[in-house]
Chain A
Amino acid sequence: MKTEKINIKAALTIATAALLGTNNLAQAESSTTASAEENTWEFDSAFLFYSEVDRVSAGEAIFNAKKIFDNEEVLNLKLTVDALTGASANGAVSQPTVQTFTRPSGSGQYEIAPGDTPLDDTFHDTRVQFNGQWTQPIAPDYIASGGVHISKEYDYLSLGVNGNIAIDFDRKNSTFSAGFSYFQDTFTPEGGIPKPFASMLIGNSNDPSWDEDFAKTRIGSEDDKSTADILLGFTQVINRRMLMKFNYSYSMVNDYLTDPFKILSVVDSDGAAQDYIYESRPDSRIKQSIYTQSLYHFDTSVLDVSYRYMWDDWEITSHTIDSRFRIPLGDSFGTESYLQPHLRIYQQSAADFYRPFLLENEALPVFASADYRIGEMTAFTVGIKYGMLVNNGHELAFRLEYYRQTPTDAGFNEPGVLKDVELYPTVDAIIAQVTYSF
């Protein structure tokens, strides 16, 4: 049994070495010995299941391979595959009557029952992502790192690079780091890029003039997005039990930042929807954040708390508190194990162009989006993780979490029937994960 487990690692080590073209199969084979030598690969694998009530479900698998070489060089390779399916809010408001919407592809329509939040149930996508990172000392107390990122899904391609340098001083008790990353994304959504504020075409999609009319609501088949980030960090060992980290980040996002699948309801003075128009967002966004994290080692347990404050030029601000508390259970369950409760609290304000709906008799704003994800919202996550050591220090862990988003009214007057429908529905999700590290 033991031999069989070790052989999985050996096989993966050989496969990884072969893929990389590094001619060190002999070395890989030697790693099959149970002793934990330097120069061997470490593998982490995880599967996560995410499911929202009545909305999106997603499965995500990660396989991470890490090798530490003799001279402290570290190679990290990560493969992520995820699949998503289910329904997503299209941005329109709920109504006391049946509503009909056209699918993003333009082929076919879907109906939403009175009182229900309009959800588009056509979302499904599969994504494959690869990350490679190389880290090495370049001088005493100087560590440099560089990496690449490729992510491909049916309608989206993302290419990225990053670089980072870290400088240790004061007996390695303090570390300054500076990094940058750049992503270039291409979006080719099903049905093309909608014309900002064009009315959604609704009617008989078998009509001979349908395709031509639908094409008039489109401005192209694809668009780009670029993201450039700068990250400055400072880490300080406080004492034998405590460590602190401070980050400042500056992020510039440009070009197509609109969600082509999102619409807004245009309502009359009674709150009845008269039209649905495609959303429009600015083509640039500058985000900044400060982040602080503290780790404290009690007698046996470890507390990890972080706080992030983010602000951007869309007037969104957010606060995030994330904490984990790791409680070792010794070997009370026959093997060494730990329990780790997790609590995350999040609050954001709305973007200045966020509008839950538009009024028919009002002039169109320059930009508008009814996407609740850039509206006012609070959210929390509570979870628990149980990890245990198995087979020669391999770790098996289970994580179960509950995530609730509560969008809130940022002070919009609701005309007529909109007072009687749910404009800010909560979203509940379950996150379940299994991790095996060997």
Chain B
Amino acid sequence: MIYQKIQITLLVPILIGISGCASLGVEPWERDLLAKKEMSLNADPIDVALDDHIYFSKEASSGGKGFGGGGCGCN
């Protein structure tokens, strides 16, 4: 039950995002901040790759941000 609530809580912003597209977003000339490297969704890919390997080896979860499968015999 609680999981369903969590899923709904997370899905609502997606639906708002889709339905509200008309009012969201920026014009091409307003991308000054978004164009910065630190504003990319994977700003530190090396750190993320190293972290993924650690947490894949030490915990029961993997992936989510990207693919989580396979790769080493560490789990």
- The chain A residues found within 8 Å of chain B, CB to CB, are 44, 46, 48, 50, 60, 62, 64, 78, 80, 82, 84, 125, 127, 129, 149, 151, 153, 155-156, 158, 160, 162, 170-174, 179, 181-185, 187, 189, 225, 227-229, 231, 234-241, 243-247, 249, 251, 253, 259, 287, 289-293, 295, 297, 302, 304, 306-311, 316-318, 320, 324, 326, 346, 348, 351, 373-374, 377, 379, 385, 399, 403, 405, 427, 431, 433, 435
Contacts and interface: CB of A to CB of B under 8 A. Distances in A.
Contacts of A48: 50
- For the complex of A and B, list the 9 residue pairs with the smallest distance between their C-beta atoms, beginning with the closest: A183-B70, A173-B25, A227-B69, A156-B73, A291-B64, A308-B64, A181-B67, A289-B64, A318-B61
Main secondary structure of the interface of A (DSSP, over half): strand
Given A171-B28, A237-B25, A435-B47, A308 B70 contact: no
Nearest to A153: B73
A151 B75 CA distance: 14
B39 A302 contact: yes
B75 A158 contact: no
Given A149-B71, A170-B25, A183-B70, A241 B49 contact: no
Interface in B55-75: 55, 58-75
Contacts of A431: 54
B71 A153 contact: no
Contacts of B49: 62, 78, 80
Nearest to A328: B38
A48 B32 CA distance: 33
A160 B69 contact: yes
A115 to B, nearest CB: 24
B40 to A, nearest CB: 8
Contacts of A82: 53
Given A240-B34, A295-B41, A297-B36, 7 more contacts: A129-B72, A240-B30, A251-B69, A287-B63, A289-B68, A297-B33, A348-B60
A405 B63 contact: no
A379 B45 CA distance: 22
Given A158-B71, A227-B70, A297-B36, A373 B65 contact: no
A60 B53 CA distance: 10
Nearest to B14: A246
Most buried by A among B14, B21, B25: B25
Nearest to B7: A290
A435 B44 CA distance: 10
Contacts of A259: 75
A228 B24 contact: no
Nearest to B41: A245
A243 B39 contact: yes
